[in-house]
Each structure stands twice: as structure tokens, then as C-alpha cells.
Structure 1
Amino acid sequence: MIILGAPFQQQLSWPLRTVRLLGLIVLLVNIARVAPRPGWQGQGLAVVITLSLATAGWQLWLASDWLPRYAVTIAWVLIGVPGGVLAGLSPHSGAIAFPAVALTDAGARLAHRRTFALGVACTAGVLAGHLAAGWRFAVPHLLLLFACALLGTLRWQYVQRAEQSELLLSNAEYAAQEHARAATLAERTRIAREIHDILAHSLAALSVQLKAIDALVEDGAGADRIRPWVGRAEQLTNEGIVETRRAILALRGETLPLEQLLVGILGVYREQDGAAAEFRAVGDPVELPADIAMTLYRTAQEALTNVRKHAPGSRVETELRYRPGEVELTVVNRVPERVGAPAGGDQGVAGLAECGTGYGLAGMRERAEAVGGLLDAGPHKDSWRVHLRIPL
């Protein structure tokens, strides 16, 4: 966007160019009719020379749009300095308009140092002219030049502030767009994480059940042997539907019954795996935001899935602890000697890769980081411990 008055960017419209041309004609007529008039000797000759230079600079100023950028600087010097001398030589005319116009336009389009330098040159020209013709109008002329330079400088400052405001507005709009884009990507990641968990904990198990049923059918098993597997498949399907509803509630920001959910999945673990599972809540319960509650629930769910894969039948202890300003979840399972405890988190991920998507432990860490939490998963004495801490 081009702002009127910006350095070397002002494009003159034809009406404005016409007004400036008419102003030059008026000045020429005025100066020609006021003593000392142009002549070929003495002050008349000095008037002719200075008027010619100032007029040439004015014409160059009018044509600066089609000339190199430095042409406008030359125009200001020619208008201001010889015009200042002419103002001193012909104090009763309007010649002071030459340096006044040059300083006003330059002040609006140049930095302060360059405007000051041009102002010094114009002042020297005016003083030189008054030195030859008298000092009667010297002070008014100098005050007028100072006022014009100040007016141009104020215009320059206004333009700079306008450009800075436009830049700040543009940056703010860009930042808002990037913020919206980041929020969209974060929401997509969150939805993808929920889809993964639903698939990993419901559809993957359902696939195993269906394969088992298919194997039983191929072996010629009777209905009595197949029916429990079909019932289990139906149960997994219903659980998947329930998990989907819970994910939708979390995405909508609605409150989740966290402790009830934890007790529920531990009950399923006891029933299906025939293993001991305990849950305890410590501290004064507080209402947790939906995203934090879902993160805690998914972490416990993923931890139980890993127990089934790597240490089936082992005892599981789950603790939900409320502390001032934070909440903690700890899931500990004793690793049977026949299975062996993984050496670290990376090997745990490798085990998951063999049994499923391999995204479980990484997904838990991503969930924790998304809500500002910290997840620690690894061997702890003769057990495997998953510990999640989330600030509130």
C-alpha cells in the first residue's frame, strides 16, 4: 500500500501537478513585476540567474515521477538554495515561496538529518540574498522557513506512524491467522488421538475375537464353544460405541466421571483376565477439565492394555492422587518372572509394535504434553510403573 507522502513514493495526480505548475507561473509573474526586476547587470542579473535555477528545479520537481530517485533531491536543492538567494534579493516579492515549498516537501519525505541539511543550505541562501539587499525581511523569512520545515517534519512523523500502525495491524492479522491455524491443527491432532484410542482398545480386540471365531468355525466347533466368543465380540462392539460417546463428550468439553471410569475399566480387567486390580483415590477430589480427565482415563486404559500384552494376569494397582494445584495418576503392575520386565520405555514401545499399532506409549506422552503434564513410564523395582502428573 502506497501512503501519500512516503519517501520517494508519492505519485502526483494531474490536478496536483497542474496546481504546482500554476503556482510556478504566478511566482514568475510576481517576481518579474517587483523590484529589482530581472536584468543583465547588477542585482537584475542575479535575479535572472537565481530565478532560472529555481525555475529549473521546480520543473524537475514536477517531472520527478519519470526520473531517477535522486532527481527529486536535486530539485529540492535547486528550488531551495537559489530560491533562498532570490528571496533575499527580492524581499517584496513572493520568492520566499521557493525555499518554503522545498523545505515543506522535503521535510515530509526525508529523515530529519537530511531535512536539517537542506534547511541549513536554504538558510544560507536567504542570508546571502539579504546580505546584498538588506536585512529588513530576514527574520520573517527565516521564521517562515523554520515553520515550513517543522510542518514537513510533522507530516513525515505522521506518515511513519501510519506505516507502523499498518504494519502492526498486518502482523496482528497474520498472528491471528497463524493462531487459528495452530488451533485447527491441534484439534485435528486431538481428534486423531481419540480415534486411535478407540480403534486400539475396541476394534483391535474385536478383530482378535473375530479371528478366533473364524478359527473355531474352521475346526468344526459347535455352537456352545462359539457362542461365548460371539458374546465377547458383541460386548467389545458396545464398548467401542460407549468409548466413542465418551470421546465426543471430551471433545465438547463436558465433564467426565473420571473415578467411575477408572473403577469400570479395572473391573473389566478383573473379570476378563482373572487378575487382581485395585483402585484408590487420595486427597480431596476436584472437578477436572474434560481434556485432563480424558488424558488420565486414556493413560490408565493404555497402561492396562500394555499389561495384557506384556504381563498378562499380573496384579494392577491404580492410584489417583489429588494435590494442591495438580493431579497424579499411577498405574503399577507386578511383572511375572516368565515375562520379564522391559529394560526401558523404548523397548516397551517395541513390544507394542509387535502386538498393535506401536503408538500407545508415544500417544500417552503426547496426551500428557498436550495438557501440560509429564509422563514417566518404566521399570520400578520388580514392577512396571506408569506415572502421570498434570498441573491444574
Structure 2
Amino acid sequence: MLRTTQWLLRTTAVIVIGVETLAFGRDRSATADAATATALAVSCIALALWALLEARGELRARRGTVLALLLTVIAVAAGSVSTQHGSSMIGVAVVAVVAAGTQTELATSWYIASAAAVAIAAGGLATDADTGSVLGYLLIVLVSLLAGHQRRSYRVQAEQSALLLQQVEQLRAEQRRVAVLDERARIAREIHDVLAHSLGALGIQIQAARALLEDHDCSDSDGNGHCHAGVERADEVLAVAQRMAGDGLTETRRAVNALRTDTASLDRQLATMAQEHRRLHRSAVRLRIDGDAAPLQSEQTLAVARVAQESLTNAAKHAPHREIQIVVLYEEEAVTLTVANALAPDGADAPTAGFTTVGFATVNGGYGLTGMRERLLLLGGTLTAGVDDGRWTVVAKVPR
């Protein structure tokens, strides 16, 4: 649309200039009229070739050489007769020079403008034109060249702006894609943590029930009710396991819903975990908060809570009924969570409440620690785990 408008303006300008020059010019000799008509014809032919090649898209393919040649022909032909008395052919030369400043290289545009200036000066000398008129035409050529350069600058800025806008849109699309991938990874971690905790605890209860049934075999009962008591105890354990399965499903749903909602404070979540662990696993859990508690970002709170949850599950698997200590230290630049539990000695009976020693199996050993480390690394935190002074200790640290 813009190109069509430009050509309509150019064509209209050349027609108006041609009519004014040939039909309404006065005080000119026949020789001057012939020269002007020839220059106008040459200019029109060059303009027609320019329009045809541009419409066919061949000017850009030839790197502007043909365009530069055509503009030079127009500028020289029109400039050479522009000093004729009453001639308006300088307008055709202006069209060529402006186009040169807009569409050709800088050096080429100056070359075309210089050719037009030389043609004007030569024409002025040949016709004994007034020096002021010649200088005025030369100034018009210079202003036309600068105007063409200004148009070129606007065009380049527009192209760069369009390219930058396209790059910004591509960047936003890439950011949206990365955000979707991050959200998927986050959901996977959340569901894994919830299921690993729930199913791990459920497996412990089922193994305990099987151990009770094996230890209280009714075929060897002494008739004192031991078999009946064992079955009752196993039924109680299985009831707890069934309740834990339902709780695990509920927690999974909550984990997915919590991905886009605010989470409870870290202290509150840890207190709930400690209370639930005492109820389900009959283990002493001590929670201590050191320092001035301060709210954390939801991602940080969730990460630290999952570390505590995974540590409690591991303690129930590997050291059942052993004391667990949870310490949260609020510092100025970081929050540190420490979960430590006493190790169960090999061959020793786990204390009591009707349970006998059971060698609980683990599932995906070590994967929970890997998941916790990955979660904390995303937040710039760290995680260490190992035996310290006879206690299995997990230390998680996240920056504030």
C-alpha cells in the first residue's frame, strides 16, 4: 500500500511538471524546448523501467546497481535542463535524489546527488543562467538528499522496531513454554513427595500388621487369648493403614490445589507433621523454633516442609519408634531446618506398644534425598544428610 502511494505521488508530480514545463513555459527557444522535451522523455522512460523492475522484485536481487543507474539518468537528464528559464524539471531531479537518499547506500546516494549537481552546473554554464539560480538549485539538491537520508533513518528504525517486537514476542512465547515446563516439574515433585510419604507410611503399617499375624499364629495358640489379641491388634493396624491411604489421597489433591494458592506457615506445618507422626508411628517428636520467625515465600515454605516430611518418613522406615528432633533456625540471611533421629541398633527390638522387631523394606532408596536436593537447588539452597554423633541428621538451608 505504501509503495503504491509513493508511485502515485511520483507519477502525479512528473505529469504536473511535464505539463507545466512543455505547455506553459514562456520565453524559451526551440532548442531549449527540444532539450527539455528530450530530458523529460528520458526521465519518464527511466521512471517506467524503475517502476517495472520494482514491481517484479528485481531491484533488490541486483543489489541496487540498476536502481542507482536509473536514478543517475533521471537526476542528470532533469538537472541538465533545470536551469532553463521557467523550467520546473528540477522537481524531477528532486524525485530522483530523494529516492537515492532513501533506497540506496550512503556513498551511492552522494554519487547520484553529485551527478545531479554537476549536470545543473553544466546546464547553467551552457545557458548563461544566473549564478543565484544555479546555487539555489544546488541547495535544493542538497536538501533533497538530506531529506532522503532522514526518510531512510525512519525506515530503518521502523524495520528494527518491527524486528525487536518480533523477538520480544518470541521471547515471551519461550518464557511461557519454560514456565509450563517448570510448573509440570513442580507438580511432579509435589505429587512424588506426597505419595512417597503416604505410601511409605502405609507400607510400614501393612508390614507391621503382617508381622503381628505371623508372631501370633493361632495354630500354636495356648488358649490364653493371645491369638485373639494379635488379630485385634493387626485389625487395628490395618484400620490405621486404611485411614492413611485415604489421607494420602486427600493430601495428593491438596498438593495439586496448593500449587497456585498460599500455603500455611512453616512452623504450623511442622507442628502438624510432628503431631501426626506421633499419632501414627508412636515415636517421640520434639519441635524447636530458634530465632525470630519470619514469613517465607510459598516456594521456600513448601520446600522446607517437604524436606521435613521426607525425613520423618525415612525415620519411620529405618528407625521406628526412635526419638526425632526437629529444629528450625531463623537467621538474618537464611533459614535452616535440622531433622535428627537416633539410629536403631542392629538386632535390637524397637520399643514397644505391642510391636515386634520388623525389618522394614525401603522403596526407591535415596530417591527422596535426590528430590529434596533438586527442590532446594532451584531456590539456591543446600541439603546435607549423614550420620552425626550416632544420629541420622538431615540439614536443609534456604536463603531468605
1:227 to 220, 229, 235: 235
Whether the aligned pair in 2 keeps the contact of 1:83 and 1:96 (CA below 8 Å) is yes
- d(CA) in 2 for partners of 1:166 and 1:182? 24
Query: Is 2:197 the partner of 1:201?
Result: yes
Aligned counterpart, 1:343: none
Count matched residues: 365
Query: Is 2:387 the partner of 1:362?
Result: no
Q: Secondary structure at the match of 2:295?
A: coil
Q: In structure 2, do the counterparts of structure 1 residues 154 and 22 end up closer, same or farther at CA, with 3 Å as the change threshold?
A: closer
Query: Is 2:296 the partner of 1:288?
Result: yes
Q: Secondary structure at the match of 1:87?
A: coil
- d(CA) in 2 for partners of 1:67 and 1:250? 59
Whether the aligned pair in 2 keeps the contact of 1:24 and 1:58 (CA below 8 Å) is no
Q: In structure 2, do the counterparts of structure 1 residues 206 and 149 end up closer, same or farther at CA, with 3 Å as the change threshold?
A: same
Structure with max Cα Rg: 2
Whether the aligned pair in 2 keeps the contact of 1:31 and 1:37 (CA below 8 Å) is no
Aligned counterpart, 1:262: 270
Once structures 1 and 2 are overlaid, which stretch shifts more, 198-207 or 316-325?
198-207
Aligned counterpart, 1:77: 72
Q: Secondary structure at the match of 2:58?
A: coil
Q: In structure 2, do the counterparts of structure 1 residues 243 and 26 end up closer, same or farther at CA, with 3 Å as the change threshold?
A: closer
Aligned counterpart, 1:68: 58
Aligned counterpart, 1:114: 108
- d(CA) in 1 for partners of 2:152 and 2:344? 80
Superposed counterparts of 1:1-392, under 5 Å: 4=2, 10=3, 12=4, 17=7, 20-21=10-11, 23-32=13-22, 34=25, 39=31, 50-51=39-40, 53-65=42-54, 66=56, 68-69=58-59, 70=64, 71-88=66-83, 90-136=84-130, 137-207=133-203, 209-210=205-206, 223-241=231-249, 243-244=251-252, 247=255, 250-270=258-278, 275-312=283-320, 314-335=322-343, 338=346, 355-356=363-364, 358-380=366-388, 382-392=390-400
**TM-score normalized by the length of structure 2:** 0.77
Q: In structure 2, do the counterparts of structure 1 residues 318 and 153 end up closer, same or farther at CA, with 3 Å as the change threshold?
A: same
Q: CA RMSD in A?
A: 3.5
Give 1:280's aligned amino acid.
R
Whether the aligned pair in 1 keeps the contact of 2:307 and 2:372 (CA below 8 Å) is yes
Once structures 1 and 2 are overlaid, which stretch shifts more, 111-120 or 239-248?
239-248
Q: In structure 2, do the counterparts of structure 1 residues 184 and 196 end up closer, same or farther at CA, with 3 Å as the change threshold?
A: same
Q: Secondary structure at the match of 2:86?
A: coil
- d(CA) in 2 for partners of 1:209 and 1:270? 14
Q: Where do 5+ consecutive residues of structure 2 fail to align?
A: 219-226, 348-360
Aligned counterpart, 1:349: none
Identical amino acids, percent of aligned pairs: 33
Q: In structure 2, do the counterparts of structure 1 residues 241 and 52 end up closer, same or farther at CA, with 3 Å as the change threshold?
A: closer
Whether the aligned pair in 2 keeps the contact of 1:103 and 1:115 (CA below 8 Å) is yes
- d(CA) in 2 for partners of 1:180 and 1:30? 62
1:120 deviates by 1.9
Q: In structure 2, do the counterparts of structure 1 residues 387 and 366 end up closer, same or farther at CA, with 3 Å as the change threshold?
A: same
1:78 deviates by 1.0
Q: Secondary structure at the match of 1:134?
A: coil
- d(CA) in 2 for partners of 1:205 and 1:36? 110
1:138 deviates by 0.6
Give 1:247's aligned amino acid.
A
Offset from partner CA, 1:55-104 (integer Å, 9 cap, x none): 4322222212226213322211111123222224x252111122201011
1:121 deviates by 2.1
Q: Where do 5+ consecutive residues of structure 1 fail to align?
A: 5-9, 340-352
